[in-house]
Amino acid sequence: MCGITGYVGARPGVRTVIDMLRRLEYRGYDSAGVAVAGLAAGSDRGDLEIVKAAGKLAVLEGQLQDHWEMQGTAIAHTRWATHGGPTTPNAHPHYSCDKRIALIHNGIIENFQELKEQLGAAGHAFTSDTDTEVMVHLVEEAYKATGCMETAVRKALCQVRGAYSIAVVSTHEPDTLYAAKTASPLILGLGNDENFLASDIPALMRYTKRVLVLEDGDFAVLNRQGVRVSTRDGEPVMREPFLVTWDEQTAERGGYPHFMLKEIHEQPRALADTLRGRIREDGRVVLPELEAFTAARLAAFTRISIVACGTAYHAGVVAKKFFESVLRRPAEVTVASEFRYGDPLVGPDTLCVVVSQSGETADTLAALREARRLGATIVSMVNVVGSSIARESDAVIYTQAGPEICVASTKAYVTQVMALYLLGLHLAASEQRLSADELRAYAQGLTALPDAVEAVVAQALSVEDLAARLADKSTFFYLGRGYDYAVSLEAALKLKEISYLHAEAYAAGEMKHGPLALVEKGVVVVCFATQPALFEKMLSNLREVSARDGLVVAVVPEGERRADAAADYVLRIPAVLPCFAPIVAVVPMQLLAYLVARARGCEIDQPRNLAKSVTVE
């Protein structure tokens, strides 16, 4: 998620917003920039200056030696690339054509392409590949018609669809900042004869602890004298400020004790971001990233090979089953470190789907290169724009998870699964494997998932009770069939990663083929039973574990009661389409792993021996 800062007051504007931006570096970014409307020290020239650079803040700071003491209203931004690579032209802020308005933006503008075409026809010239740049030109166009910056910003916002937090500064009103928010966070900091804005509280804490959190649909005007909040249509809104009592380290985590817990709570929004703009009203999946792939080319792939490591591999296990279900075509999933050494059966008839959060995973990158050498077509699922895997792929579907700080993946995993579902439905629609009604049903099922995950996160207290009972146990088994087996793999990994406990995942039918010998009193067995067609089989597994004094935890859909008598503890999740249950069923397991690790006093965000991005074989 991008970092946004803004300032209006008597302090040097550039120095202030850059200092605030440093406190948001933990969020991850690939470029940075600043705009200031005011006077350079010793100058009587009033103008709007933008300085930006690809790379870290240190690169930008090296270009700001003549700007540090500039007085004036300022905005700054760190960008996590989505539309357009991590380059200097794509960095924010973006100028209007007359260079009198600058704008920064966090979010995704869904209809940017059609707006860009309209603005181009009206004579506007674009200098970047971003969706954001259309917004500053919309403001400029509206200002020409109205002569009022506030009206112009409001009119521009009425034309865009999607998610945004924006901040706007101009030489037309150099002592005023305009800001608006929907879906992406934006916070105002209230000072004396000065005011601030930022995308997260840590940026503000050195300057003020009195903050006001904007809500979806809010529009704010900031100057030295104060702030005024209204709806986008101009209706006054009362937002009560509050006093931040956290220390700065806690503030970086949004008040959460660990990044992992923060990122678990971010999953509903991350899923919504992955979906945004990718499902039409008629239920058809839209993946502009695959526009170059004709229906005939897609139909020519006789096999699909999914390649990934760790958590991303588990996402691939879900995708294999889904692809085969909706495409009726062989799909395989291979651990990337085994792929290149296993004489893989891939060639020009193979669609190779490469999955990696960072886009830099060494084994996965090596597998991609081997698949390309063998003639396969590469479609990658990554979170980081401009990463090595993204650059070397024929097409890239970005998961839009935003930065993930904790080593143990949570929101990156669920967004990978979501993106893989979208790819499967896109291929099925292209090949006319599904009827319009079926496509619509799948689309409705996908759009219900963010709310379903939100409901699970809201029930964290029930998982906390269970974690207290399990924290002193030493052996865990996770069982499932079909889609539930895929979830069991990821659930076991989460517990291993951060609690350092022994945890194994098995296809439930395999328990009688050996692992059942290990079940005794004190052994915990988590059984996933979200698939109606397999429920009776899973019930038998619950009973055979219970008969051997194992402690049984069942994960079942709401309304399901048949497991109650056989399980020691039942976790209920919202009922969704069975094929989409993996996204919902994994969330209580993420919470359970987190809470057990916390009870055991383990290091959670940076577990021993592990790294966020594995860049060596």
Number of domains into which the chain is organized: 3
Residue 167's pLDDT band, with cuts at 50, 70 and 90, is: very high
Establish if 156 belongs to a structural domain. no
Alpha helical stretches, state H, 181-340 = 248-252, 259-265, 267-275, 295-299, 310-327, 336-339
Establish if 21 belongs to a structural domain. yes
Tell me the average pLDDT across 194-220: 92
At position 44, the amino acid (one-letter code) is: D
Q: Please tell me the predicted confidence (pLDDT) of residue 554.
A: 95
Active-site positions?
Answer: 2, 612
Beta bridge partners of 31: 54, 79
Q: Please tell me the predicted confidence (pLDDT) of residue 69.
A: 86
Q: Please tell me the predicted confidence (pLDDT) of residue 39.
A: 53
The CATH code of the domain that includes 16 is: 3.60.20.10
Asked if residue 358 and residue 423 are part of one domain, the reply reads yes
The torsion defined by the Cα of 146, 149, 153 and 154, in degrees rounded to 10, comes to -60
Establish if 119 belongs to a structural domain. no
Q: Which residue has the higher pLDDT, 371 or 545?
A: 371
218/90 Cα distance (integer angstroms): 27
Asked if residue 480 and residue 465 are part of one domain, the reply reads yes
Asked if residue 415 and residue 466 are part of one domain, the reply reads no
Helix (H, G, I), strand (E, B) or coil at 244: coil
Establish if 431 belongs to a structural domain. yes
Q: Please tell me the predicted confidence (pLDDT) of residue 98.
A: 94
Q: Which residue has the higher pLDDT, 395 or 516?
A: 395
Q: Which residue has the higher pLDDT, 85 or 600?
A: 600
Asked if residue 220 and residue 266 are part of one domain, the reply reads no
Establish if 610 belongs to a structural domain. no
- 591-601 pLDDT, tens digit per residue, is 999 999 999 99
Q: Tell me phi and psi for residue 335, to 5 degrees.
A: -65, 125
In total, the chain counts a number of residues equal to 617
Q: What percent of the chain has pLDDT over 90?
A: 72
The CATH code of the domain that includes 487 is: 3.40.50.10490
267-275 vs 449-458: helix axis angle to the nearest 10?
Answer: 180
193/236 Cα distance (integer angstroms): 22
Residue 604's pLDDT band, with cuts at 50, 70 and 90, is: very high
372/348 Cα distance (integer angstroms): 9
Q: Tell me phi and psi for residue 208, to 5 degrees.
A: -160, 150
Q: Please tell me the predicted confidence (pLDDT) of residue 44.
A: 46
Residue 615's pLDDT band, with cuts at 50, 70 and 90, is: low
Asked if residue 567 and residue 495 are part of one domain, the reply reads yes
Residue 107's pLDDT band, with cuts at 50, 70 and 90, is: confident
Asked if residue 363 and residue 460 are part of one domain, the reply reads no
**Model confidence at 525: pLDDT above 90:** yes
- 556-576 pLDDT, tens digit per residue, is 999 999 989 889 999 999 999
At position 347, the amino acid (one-letter code) is: G
Q: Tell me phi and psi for residue 353, to 5 degrees.
A: -100, 115
Residue after which a domain boundary falls, among 222, 252, 282? 252
Matching residue, tokens 């991008």: 2
Helix (H, G, I), strand (E, B) or coil at 242: strand
**Among 24-28, 299-303, 587-591, the least confident range:** 24-28
Establish if 616 belongs to a structural domain. no
Asked if residue 297 and residue 240 are part of one domain, the reply reads no
Q: Please tell me the predicted confidence (pLDDT) of residue 308.
A: 97
Q: Please tell me the predicted confidence (pLDDT) of residue 1.
A: 55
Task: Tell me the whole-structure pTM to 2 decimals.
Answer: 0.80
Asked if residue 461 and residue 372 are part of one domain, the reply reads no
CA nearest to 463, candidates 589, 576, 558: 589
**Model confidence at 10: pLDDT above 60:** yes
Asked if residue 329 and residue 267 are part of one domain, the reply reads yes
- Expressed as residue numbers, the domain containing 393 is 261-447
**Which runs of E-coded beta strand occur in 268-390?**
303-308, 331-335, 350-356, 377-382
Tell me the average pLDDT across 271-292: 90
Q: Please tell me the predicted confidence (pLDDT) of residue 516.
A: 87
> Cis omega before residue 93 (within 30°)?
yes
Asked if residue 489 and residue 411 are part of one domain, the reply reads no
222/143 Cα distance (integer angstroms): 19
530/400 Cα distance (integer angstroms): 27
**Model confidence at 312: pLDDT above 50:** yes
Tell me the average pLDDT across 497-516: 92
Asked if residue 84 and residue 222 are part of one domain, the reply reads yes
Matching residue, tokens 């059984």: 527
End-to-end CA distance of the chain, in Å? 29
Asked if residue 322 and residue 279 are part of one domain, the reply reads yes
Q: Please tell me the predicted confidence (pLDDT) of residue 343.
A: 87
Residue after which a domain boundary falls, among 252, 280, 313? 252
Element containing residue 104 per DSSP (H, E): strand 101-109
Determine contact, residues 515/477, Cβ cutoff 8 Å.
Answer: yes
Matching residue, tokens 């399980």: 567
Determine contact, residues 570/556, Cβ cutoff 8 Å.
Answer: yes
What is the chain's mean pLDDT, rounded?
92
Q: Please tell me the predicted confidence (pLDDT) of residue 45.
A: 46
Establish if 8 belongs to a structural domain. yes
Residue after which a domain boundary falls, among 252, 276, 304? 252
- 15-67 pLDDT, tens digit per residue, is 999 999 998 887 678 899 999 997 544 544 458 999 999 998 999 999 998 88
DSSP letter assigned to residue 93: P
Establish if 150 belongs to a structural domain. no
